[in-house]
């Protein structure tokens, strides 16, 4: 059995070792209780960029009955505008949507919310669906790429 002085020293050494481990290995150490380091660091604000670079999902388009209805952002839905609804992207985010079947792309602005589903999902205006080439089909597999400010 280790002496109390030695076990205290071992605990300090283990705490130092835990701070040096990569963060993704910490859940493997279930027996150890990890406390976040209370030291604050000043981080300069950087340009807003999305953590998500590209998400593959399914796109559909608004039904005709939604023409003129208010969107979540407050503006009225118009089928000829390049707009979209997404369940989690911030309102006002510009998104490039690429049809994976024919490589056509369109840039839309998220101005509405849609129901959260288990797969990445976006609802496009009818004009955007026509430009992507799936207007009659109803749905298409697409890549959703959020754009940084100033990017087109």
5-37 pLDDT, tens digit each: 555 544 444 444 444 444 444 443 333 333 444
Q: Label residue 95 exposed, middle or buried (CB < 10 Å: 0-12, 13-18, 19+).
A: buried
Query: Distance (Å, rounded) from C-alpha 48 to C-alpha 53?
Result: 13
Give alpha helix (H) positions in 1-152: 4-20, 126-132
The yes-or-no verdict on residue 89 having pLDDT over 60 is yes
pTM for this entry:
0.62
CB atoms under 10 Å from CB of 64, counted, come to 8
145: confidence class by pLDDT, cuts 50, 70, 90: very high
Over residues 100-117, the pLDDT tens digits come to: 999 999 999 999 998 777
pLDDT of 83: 95
Q: Is the pLDDT of residue 128 over 50?
A: yes
Cα→Cα distances 142→56, 65, 82, Å:
6, 24, 16
Residue 63: the pLDDT is: 86
Round the average pLDDT of the chain to a whole number and report it. Answer: 75
Is 110 strand, coil or helix? Answer: strand
d(CA 29, CA 17): 12
């Amino acid at each position: 059995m280790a002496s109390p002085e030695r076990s205290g020293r071992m605990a300090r050494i283990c705490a130092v070792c835990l701070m040096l481990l990569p963060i993704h290995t910490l859940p493997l150490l279930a027996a150890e209780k990890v406390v976040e380091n209370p030291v604050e660091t000043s981080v300069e604000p950087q340009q807003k960029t999305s953590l998500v670079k590209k998400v593959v999902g399914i796109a559909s388009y608004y039904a005709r009955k939604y023409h003129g209805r208010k969107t979540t952002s407050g503006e009225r839905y118009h089928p000829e505008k390049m707009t979209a609804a997404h369940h989690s992207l911030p309102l006002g985010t510009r998104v490039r949507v690429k049809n994976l079947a024919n490589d056509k792309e369109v840039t839309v602005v998220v101005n509405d919310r849609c129901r959260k589903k288990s797969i990445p999902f976006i609802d496009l205006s009818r004009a955007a669906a026509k430009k992507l080439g799936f207007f009659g089909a109803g749905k298409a597999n697409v890549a959703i790429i959020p754009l940084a400010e100033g990017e087109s």
